[in-house]
Structure formats: C-alpha cells, structure tokens
Amino acid sequence: MNIWASAEFDDHEQVCFFSHAETGLRAIVAIHSTARGPAAGGTRFKPYDSDDLALDDALRLSRAMSYKSALAGLPVGGGKSVIIGDPAQLKSRDLLHAFGRYIDRIGQTYATGEDVGMSVADIETINEVTPYVGGTSTGAGDPAVHTATGVIHGLRAVLEHQFDRDSFSGLKVAIQGLGAVGWGIAERLDAAGAKLVVADVRAEQVERARAQFGAVECPTERIHEAEVDIYAPCALGGVISERTAAEVRARAVAGSANNQLTTPAAGIALAARGILFAPDYVINAGGIISGAAATSRMPGRAKANFAPLEEGLAAIRERLTEVFERSTAEGRPPEATAEVMARELIGR
C-alpha cells in the first residue's frame, strides 16, 4: 500500500489508519480538503479484495465529497471513511464505539455519517462516544430521504436540458439498486407518473417494486442496456466503463450512486454518443446538504449560515443546469466541467 502512488491521491490533506484488535476494526479516514470548512463525509462499511482497493475507494470518495460540498455551496470540506470487512460478520456495538473514539480524535477537522453498510442506528451508536457525526434521527433525519429528494430535483434539470420537457409522466426510467435511496427515487418517480424498470440483487426488493409500482424487472448485469429514457445507477459505483457506455440505450444517465464512471474515457464515450451524464456528486448531494448545518453546531466549530433544507435541495436543479449549460458552451463532458467548477471553488 502506497498512498503517494495511488492514482486517486490528489494532495489529500490527511489520511488516517485506525485499528482496534479487540473488535477487528480496520478503518481508513481520508480528508481531501478543508479549504471551505471542516470535512464531512459518510462511513462505508464493506469488504474489499485488498487494502489498496480500500485506500483508493476512501481517496476517491473523499475527493468527490470535496466537489459535492463545494458545488452545493456549503462551507464544508470533503472527507470519507471506510471500515474494511463484512458488516454482517464484523459489525458490533464495541467496534462502532472504537471507531467513534477514533473519529473523536480528529473531530475538529472531520465528521462522519451514514453510507453503504451503515444505518442511522449505527451512526447513533457512534454518536454515543463522539459528537462528530451527522444524520441522526434527532437531526435532519435519514440522509437517504434527502438524497432521493435531491436526485428528483436534479432529474428535472435533466428533463429540461435533454428532453425539453418538465414532466415525468410516461417517461421510462431504469433504476439499478433499490436500497434506501433507490427506493425513495422509485417512489417519487412512480408518483409523478414515470414507468419504471428495476434491478436489485435482492429478489424480494424487485418483487416489492413490481407489486407497488408495476415495475418491470431486468437483470442487474443488463439494466444499463434497457430501452428507457433515463438510466439511474443507484447502487455501488463503477457501472459505466467504456464498454458499458457503448451499450447504454438511454438518452441520459443520472442516478444516486457515487463514482459511476470507471474512467474519464467512459464519460467521453457517453458524450460522444449524445448521452447526457449528470455528475453524481452534483445530483446526489442531498445527504450532505441535509447534514451540513449540524456540523457547525459541533464542539469547537465556528457557526455558519445555511439555507433552509428545502431550498438547498431544490438548488441541485439549478447547479446541474449550470453544469450542463457550461458543458455545452465549453465543449466538454458534464463531469469534466463539474470538476473544473468544483476545483475553482476549493482553490485547486
């Protein structure tokens, strides 16, 4: 493992490695930037094939959090945590407390919250030993709800720019992943009259979507090829490669998953085919928007002003519209444009 040699290392300000033998905890916290304020970013709990992959994931995700917070106009920096291991086997109250005590050590520069493999209840358990967490039930609530709401606002920008329409009625959307956020997006699109194609590794979730929404099932490995208007990746990232970009039949790719593009070339391949890509760290910013205000109330933090939550979520539509318009004007893919905009905002 070599931090400096990682392709994902982008002059990260701080990278911490924590371990606790008694509970089996092995965690990495990556802090990309605090230029706009103390860093914030969730904790991902999952098994990795190697420690190098865990490190790369933490670095990649923390950089995206810097971009996400900056483009959302928040006085917040970017960071991310990963806990290495299978949460079904390893997660325990003692482990979460051990992790929380480590977070407490760096709480002046970083606060965490929910992500893949972690629940609101888990964050509340961590909150028992450190105040440097967000997204508890006593605060803004489950960030997944706000992420789903924000994605819907972002999808309206996609409708306007790519389809020249303002209604979801009759629109076909393929949703890959029916977790908390994906399900919330499905509920909102169904209520707005969209027709859904769904995929999930859990058969019971697919069956539930068929019963509740009249959704059409599609195999997980084929849903990117579905004959739909919008393909919405809402599970884990890395689903759009140069190969899969050539197989997408939708006119737009816009979902809640982080790091959907495996490489910049994948985004270029989408753009070359006239497929609009909504940069994930712009459209999925609802979670950090909902939790950011709580970070300024943490011990030792300077107070900051935040827009009302509903206003902050609605602004995702405006920011994506700005990205799409600048992308068209400057002749480069939306994700490249969004990165330039974010780096301008964080002074890089």
| Residue recorded with tokens 């960030």 | 143
Q: How sure is the predictor about 5, in pLDDT bands with cuts at 50, 70 and 90?
A: confident
Q: Are 164 and 229 in contact (CB under 8 A)?
A: no
> Of these residues, 46, 68, 80, 195, which one is catalytic?
80
Q: Are 63 and 80 in contact (CB under 8 A)?
A: no
Q: How sure is the predictor about 67, in pLDDT bands with cuts at 50, 70 and 90?
A: very high
| Helical spans, DSSP H, in 12-91 | 51-71, 87-90
Does position 346 have pLDDT exceeding 90, yes or no? yes
Residue type, 273: R
End-to-end, the C-alpha distance of the chain in Å comes to 26
The Cα-based distances of 102 to 18, 33, 95 in angstroms read 7, 19, 11
Predicted pLDDT of residue 42: 94
Distance CA 96, CA 56 (A): 22
H or E stretch at 35: none
Task: Return the closest-CA partner of residue 229 out of 153, 285, 175.
Answer: 175
Does position 213 have pLDDT exceeding 80, yes or no? yes
Domain with CATH 3.40.50.10860 in the chain: 3-68+76-139
Q: How sure is the predictor about 88, in pLDDT bands with cuts at 50, 70 and 90?
A: very high
Over residues 216-235, mean pLDDT = 97
Predicted pLDDT of residue 296: 84
Tell me the CATH architecture of domain 144-284+317-346.
3-Layer(aba) Sandwich (3.40)
Domain with CATH 3.40.50.720 in the chain: 144-284+317-346
Predicted pLDDT of residue 189: 98
The 10s digit of each residue's pLDDT in 147-187 is: 999 999 999 999 999 999 999 999 999 999 999 999 999 99
The 10s digit of each residue's pLDDT in 301-345 is: 888 888 899 999 999 999 999 999 999 999 999 999 999 999 999
Q: How sure is the predictor about 2, in pLDDT bands with cuts at 50, 70 and 90?
A: confident
Q: Are 334 and 157 in contact (CB under 8 A)?
A: no
Predicted pLDDT of residue 302: 85
Does position 140 have pLDDT exceeding 90, yes or no? no
The 10s digit of each residue's pLDDT in 114-132 is: 999 999 899 999 999 999 9
Question: Across the chain, what does the average pLDDT equal?
Answer: 95
Predicted pLDDT of residue 270: 98
Report the percentage of the chain scoring pLDDT > 90.
Answer: 88
The model scores a pTM over 0.85: yes
> Is 91 designated active site?
no
Domain 3-68+76-139 has CATH 3.40.605.10: no
